[in-house]
Amino acid sequence: SVLLLLSSLYSAEASVFRKARETVVDAAAPALALFAGPINAVQGAVGDIRDYFNVLKQNEALRQENAELRQWMNEALALRETVASYEMLHAYYAPPAVRPINAIVIGESNDAFSHSMLVNVGSDEGVSHGQAVIDPSGLVGRIVDVGKAASRILLLTDVQSRVPVYIEGADVEGLLVGRTKARPAVTFTKSSEPVIFEPGQRVLTSGAGGVLPRGLPVGVVAEDRKGEAIVELYANYARTRLVRVLNYKFPTVEPDEVATPSDGAAQPEASSSSASPSNEETRTVQPTPQAVTPVTPASAAAPRPVRTEEEALPEEVED
């Protein structure tokens, strides 16, 4: 009975509280509906602001990644250009006597008086004075100063540059003279016959003077100006970064090589004896120098005679 009484009281209170809650909800519903719009708008704005800052962080991260990727892309492009330049350099087939030395341009001087470049190879790598320097297009210049780890190249446009060349197809040789503010020109020696050449003909090194190898491409004839061939160089100095120094030695004939017989060929003794004179015949008799006796003045005292051992020995025995 007690339990039934308590349960009835609880159900009565629950129904009373339920009605009160329902009454409050009904009364607050219009107010909640009125404020729900602004609250939702504020929450949406806060969410948008949070998303905005998240987007800014992501954008900054993407910018950093883009900068890193751009740096890698630039390095990849530079490496691709370097590899292509090396491939073009290796496409040049040098004569057997030439040992190319790869080099990188580390400095240049292009003022009103001199045109030169500095490379990162020197005597330690085999570079010496006068060697030719080429790039993938053609002749760049020649070595004029050599250090242990660096060398200076005198460009073809320098006023002091003089390179023996010939014009292919015209069969004429001349001297390529550098012009500081203009293209170099090929000057010819004065002769009775006129020199005939045409624009577009190739200019190559002639090898005269024993300095540069023959056949290195220099450029093409651009125009005929008062008997001189103005040359458009193959080398583009503004883009020259990788070069090759040609370690070239001109072949020479040694006198010993001419006199020495070929291997395996034995010469007869008779021919060798007849061809070469004997030692007695080739011996030169030198005159025997005569002793010069100095003249002693009369006033000078005569020197004391010196006794030899044979003269002194008997006296010692007699004693």
Question: Using one digit for the tens of pLDDT, what is the confidence trace for 258-277?
Answer: 555 555 444 444 444 444 44
Residue 44 has pLDDT above 50, yes or no: yes
Identify the band that residue 136 occupies on the pLDDT scale cut at 50, 70 and 90: confident
- Quote the pLDDT of residue 232: 94
- Residues 6 or more apart whose Cβ sits within 8 Å of residue 109: 115, 116, 117, 118
Residue 231 has pLDDT above 90, yes or no: yes
Whether the Cβ atoms of residue 58 and residue 65 lie closer than 8 Å to each other? no
Lowest mean pLDDT among 11-20, 92-101, 218-227: 11-20
- Quote the pLDDT of residue 77: 75
Q: Within its chain, how far is the Cα of 36 from the centroid?
A: 76
Distance CA 60, CA 250 (A): 63
- Quote the pLDDT of residue 65: 85
Residue 147 has pLDDT above 50, yes or no: yes
Residue 279 has pLDDT above 80, yes or no: no
Q: ∠ CA 81-84-85 to the nearest 5 degrees?
A: 85
